[in-house]
């Protein structure tokens, strides 16, 4: 639990968008592991747990169908702001994270899950295919559609904001 728990909670929170619900999902996954461990033994626990957590997270969302909270990114070093950086740079990074988070919130759970498996869990296409029980080509096409949907959502988010001014004189050739 100490080794795998934080990563599984982060995965589930990314899918569910609710840290409390994610903790419950991970707890349920560990109970299932304790009651009926995979036949391959301890070596298969991490992939088995990741699959169970993904499926439980999606099932939880499908049952409730209510908007979740924005996930807490405090445990993910890649998403934390850099120390000692300029205030504007940190604010811009925080704003970008909020835009991505809002866009992820609007995606359906299957697209959000496959993006989380690739980006946060850093699984290869082959590992995701094995995890989901689908061919690699299906993973590639689903990831492509999920990325396109995320980009569309981010563009929609940008349209809702004020348009930034653009200085053409700055880029004019001399």
- Supply the CATH number for residue 13's domain: 1.10.10.10
Answer yes or no: is 165 within a domain. no
Number of domains in the chain: 1
> If you average pLDDT over residues 97-110, what whole number do you get?
84
Answer yes or no: is 32 within a domain. yes
65 or 46, higher pLDDT: 46
Answer yes or no: is 53 within a domain. yes
By CB neighbour count within 10 A (0-12 exposed, 13-18 middle, 19+ buried), where does 54 fall? buried
Q: Report which of 150, 73, 144 is spatially closest to residue 105, judged by C-alpha positions.
A: 150
Q: What is the DSSP letter of 82?
A: P
> If you average pLDDT over residues 77-93, what whole number do you get?
58
169, pLDDT greater than 50: no
pTM for the full model?
0.52
> If you average pLDDT over residues 23-50, what whole number do you get?
84
> If you average pLDDT over residues 85-111, what whole number do you get?
78
Q: Report which of 147, 157, 156, 152 is spatially closest to residue 116, judged by C-alpha positions.
A: 147
DSSP secondary structure string for all residues of 83-145 = TT--HHHHHHHHHHHHHHHHHHHHS-HHHHHHHHHHHTS---HHHHHHHHTS-HHHHHHHHHH
Answer yes or no: is 98 within a domain. yes
By residue count, the chain amounts to: 174
Cβ-based neighbours of 6, under 8 Å, separated by 6 or more: 75
Answer yes or no: is 120 within a domain. yes
Helix axes 45-64, 5-16, angle to 10 degrees: 30
Answer yes or no: is 164 within a domain. no
Q: By residue range, what is the domain housing residue 79?
A: 5-159
Answer yes or no: is 168 within a domain. no
pLDDT category of residue 86 using cuts at 50, 70 and 90: low
């Amino acid at each position: 639990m100490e080794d795998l728990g934080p990563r599984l909670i982060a995965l589930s929170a990314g899918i569910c968008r609710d840290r409390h619900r994610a903790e419950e999902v991970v707890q349920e996954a560990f109970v299932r592991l304790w009651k009926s461990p995979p036949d391959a033994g301890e070596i298969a626990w991490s992939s088995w747990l990741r699959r169970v957590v993904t499926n439980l997270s999606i099932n939880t969302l499908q049952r409730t169908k209510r908007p979740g909270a924005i996930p807490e990114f405090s445990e993910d070093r890649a998403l934390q702001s850099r120390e000692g950086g300029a205030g504007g740079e940190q604010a811009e990074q925080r704003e970008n994270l909020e835009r991505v988070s809002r866009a992820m919130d609007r995606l359906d759970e299957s697209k959000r899950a496959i993006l989380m498996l690739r980006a946060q869990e850093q699984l290869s296409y082959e590992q995701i295919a094995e995890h989901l029980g689908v061919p690699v080509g299906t993973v590639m096409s689903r990831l492509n559609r999920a990325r396109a949907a995320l980009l569309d959502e981010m563009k929609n988010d940008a349209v809702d904001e004020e348009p930034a001014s653009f200085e053409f004189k700055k880029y004019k050739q001399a």
